[in-house]
Structure 1
C-alpha cells in the first residue's frame, strides 16, 4: 500500500543548489542522472506547481513521473520520495547520507535551530536529545507519572499557549526567502521579524518555568520527576556529548515539546470533530464506544485511550487527511550519493 499523502509530503528531501553544485564541482568525473519531474518556469522553477494542497499535487505527479521526482523550487533543488518502496530504501540505506536538515529562515530566529531536537545539526547534541526523548521521556511509564502536570493550567500557561499557536502559524507559512536566499536582507514578508518577536516572548515565559522549577526543587523533597527535572539533572561526559544543557537549550526544548504535543494535539482534535460532524455514522460509533468503555458522564482518562480502538482509528484517519504539522522538516544531502539509480 502506498504511503498516505500527508506522510508523502513529509518525506520530501531538500538539497540547496549551492551545496549540490559544490559537490558536482568537486566530483567532475561523476555524470549524474537526475530523477524525472515536471518542467519549470525560468528562475521560479516549479514553485507554483504544488498549489494550495501540495500533498495531493505530489500524489498526481507520482502517477505521471514515478516514485522519485525532481523539483526545482526557486534556487532549491528538491528530490521527493513518493512510494513505500522508495521510502524503505531511503531510510534503510541512505539515512545518514541525508542526516542534515534544511533550515528555514524563520527557524533561525534566536538560533532556535541550534538547540532544536528536530533541527539541530547532526552530531552528539542531537543524538543525546533524541535518546532522552525516546528512552526516558516518551515511554508509557514516564507519561503516566506526569499526567498530574498536564492537568494544571494557569494564566501564564494560557499566554504561553497563545504565543505557541502564533509560532506554529509563522513556521508553517511559505517564505520566499527560503527559495531565493538573496532576499534575506529584505525579509519581504516580515516573517523573520515576527518570529523573532514572538519567539522572544515564548523563550521569556519558558525561562520563568525553568527558574521556578529550580527554586521549587530547593524547597521541596517531592520525589516525582517530570521531563524538565530530567533535563535539569542531566550530566554528560563532556566529550562526545554536552556536560550540561544550557538555559537556551532548556528553553528551546520546552518550546518544542509544547509545539509538538500541545498545539498539534488541539489542531487534530478540532479536525477530528469536524470530520465526525460530517460523518454522523462514525460519530454514533465513537459515542457508543465511549459509553461502553468509559461510561456515561465520566471524564476520559489517559489510561482509557488504549482501550478505545475505534476512536484510535478515527485519530489515525484524521492524521492522514489533516497532517498536524504545517511545516516540513526536510533533509539535506551531506555528500554526493546514488539513490535508486539517480545521483
Structure 2
C-alpha cells in the first residue's frame, strides 16, 4: 500500500491560505502569478483547434481561486457528489491547477489500462513540498522511465515476491505474537485498538525491513518514527500555495519544501544508523540474513537491474516507501474490518467459527492458515471495497495532451480516480453501503486491478507493488486477533462509529476502543 500526495485535502479555505505565511510579499507573487496563469490559459484556449474535444465539464469557479472555496474536507465524498451532477468525468480548478476526476469503471480503464503509458507519471512537484522525499527517487513518485523500472524490478524480485516474503515469515510471526501478548495483558480493559494496530504493523514492517523492531534499534527511535509520520500527514493535509500556484513554488512561501527537507534529514539519520549497523554486523559476522535491507544492499553491489544502478538514495527511499506506505494503510484496514464486524455480530461469529474449524482453539494461527480462510478473505475484500485506504488512489499525470471519454485532458493535469465512489456504485454493487462479505464468496474479484469494478490497490503500471505484503500482514494480524480474543464494546456503547476521515490515508474518524477477552484454551498460547 502506498501514499497519495494532494496538499489540499483536509481543510482548505481562503483564510487558511492567507494565514499560512506572515510574509506580505507573497500577495504580490500570488497576484502576478495568477494573472500570468490566466493569460497563458486564455492563450492556450485560443491556440487550440476548434475541432479539438472540449475540456470535461465541472463546477464554475472564481477567478484566480477556481473551486478552492467550495471544497469539502471529506474530499472523496465531495467528489462523489459532484459526479452525480457533472457525470463520471469532470474538472476542478484548484488555484491554477487543473484536476480531473474519474468516477466510472470504463473511464478508469481508459486511464489505467488503455492509455496506461500516457498516465504513468505522478506529476510530483518536489519544489512545492509534495509528499515525495529523497527527491521523488522512489517507486511511488519517481517519473516513469528506466530508473523507476529498475526499482520496480528490484522490489518485485528482491523484496515483494512470494519467495522473498516467505524468507521473512518467521520475523512476521514473532511480531504478531508480541501484538497478541500485548492485548492479552490488557484483558478486561478498554484498549485503543487503532493505536496498538499502528504500533504492531510498524514493528512488523521494520522487522521485515532490517530484522529488528524500532525498539531494538534504540530507545526513542520508535516515537521519533511515529512523530515523523504524523508530520508528513499534517504537512500533506495543509493547503499549499506552491502546489495550487506552481509559478510560486520557487519562493516556498509557506516553507513546505523546507519542512519536508527537515523531515527527510531526520528519516535519513535513522536509516543511516540502521545501514551502518548492518554493514558493521556483516563485517563481524558475514552470515546470511533474511530481511529486505540485506536484499537491497546486495542489489547495490549487483548494479541494480544490470542496466540502471541502484544507489544508496534509492535504497533509503524504498525503505521509506515500505514503512510509511504500509503502516497506516494496513493498520487502518484491520481497524475498519474489526469495527465493521463488531457492528455485525453474525459476521464476526462466522469469521471466528471458520478460524475454529481451520486452526482450532487449542493452538495459534500460523501464516500458512490464511489461504484456508475464504470467509476472512471476503471480510478483507469487503473492507477494502467500503474503505479503500487511498480513496482517490495516487494522482496520475498525463505526459502529453490526450482524450479520455471524449474530452481533452491537457498535459500536466492531475488525474484522480475515485475508486471509493466506484466501489459504492449501486449499478455495480447491490446494497453498496451494507457491509456484506458474502458478496465476495465464490466471486471473480481479486487485487490485480484487472476488473475496474473493484481495484482498491489501483491498476496498470503504477499499481501498488506491495499487494502481497499487505494481504499477508492484514490477514495474519486480523486472523490472530479474532482467533485469540472476543471483542466487546466499552460500557454504555452500542455500536462503533465507522465513518471516515479523509487525509493522507483515509482513517476512522473516531478511533476504535474495545475490550479483549481470551478465547483460546491455554494461557500459554498468549506468550
| Shorter-chain TM-score range | 0.7 to 0.9
Match of 2:288, SS? coil
Structure 2 unpaired stretches of 5+: 6-36, 176-211, 409-527
| Residue aligning to 1:307 | 372
The answer on 1:38 being equivalent to 2:102 is: no
The answer on 1:264 being equivalent to 2:329 is: yes
**1:13-34 alpha-carbon deviations (Å, 9 max, x no partner):** xxxx79x959948965474411
Q: Are the structure 2 counterparts of residues 317 and 50 from structure 1 closer, same or farther at C-alpha, using a change threshold of 3 Å?
A: farther
| Residue aligning to 1:120 | 142
Counterpart CA distance in 2 for 1:317 and 1:238 is 37
**1:280-299 counterparts in 2 under 5 A?**
280-296=345-361, 298-299=363-364
Q: Are the structure 2 counterparts of residues 172 and 229 from structure 1 closer, same or farther at C-alpha, using a change threshold of 3 Å?
A: same
Say what the alpha-carbon RMSD is for the aligned residues.
3.2
Counterpart CA distance in 2 for 1:213 and 1:161 is 19
| Residue aligning to 1:101 | 122
| Residue aligning to 2:506 | none
Offset, 1:278: 2.4
Counterpart CA distance in 1 for 2:352 and 2:375 is 10
The answer on 1:129 being equivalent to 2:196 is: no
| Residue aligning to 1:209 | 274
Counterpart CA distance in 2 for 1:285 and 1:341 is 47
Is the CA contact (8 Å cut-off) linking 2:66 and 2:94 kept in structure 1?
yes
Is the CA contact (8 Å cut-off) linking 1:106 and 1:191 kept in structure 2?
yes
Is the CA contact (8 Å cut-off) linking 1:170 and 1:191 kept in structure 2?
no
Counterpart CA distance in 2 for 1:26 and 1:137 is 50
Offset, 1:316: 2.2
**Count of residue correspondences:** 324
Offset, 1:228: 1.6
Offset, 1:328: 5.1
Offset, 1:160: 5.5
Counterpart CA distance in 2 for 1:36 and 1:158 is 47
Offset, 1:130: 1.0
Counterpart CA distance in 2 for 1:292 and 1:201 is 47
Is the CA contact (8 Å cut-off) linking 1:164 and 1:258 kept in structure 2?
no
Offset, 1:162: 1.3
Is the CA contact (8 Å cut-off) linking 2:158 and 2:296 kept in structure 1?
no
Match of 1:153 among 205, 209, 213: 213
Q: Are the structure 2 counterparts of residues 149 and 168 from structure 1 closer, same or farther at C-alpha, using a change threshold of 3 Å?
A: farther
Q: Are the structure 2 counterparts of residues 22 and 209 from structure 1 closer, same or farther at C-alpha, using a change threshold of 3 Å?
A: farther
Counterpart CA distance in 1 for 2:392 and 2:69 is 17
| Residue aligning to 1:6 | none
Q: Are the structure 2 counterparts of residues 312 and 168 from structure 1 closer, same or farther at C-alpha, using a change threshold of 3 Å?
A: farther
Q: Are the structure 2 counterparts of residues 167 and 227 from structure 1 closer, same or farther at C-alpha, using a change threshold of 3 Å?
A: farther
Offset, 1:213: 1.7
Structure 1 unpaired stretches of 5+: 1-8, 11-16
**1:216-246 alpha-carbon deviations (Å, 9 max, x no partner):** 222334334332222212233898512xx33
Match of 2:365, SS? coil
Offset, 1:69: 1.2
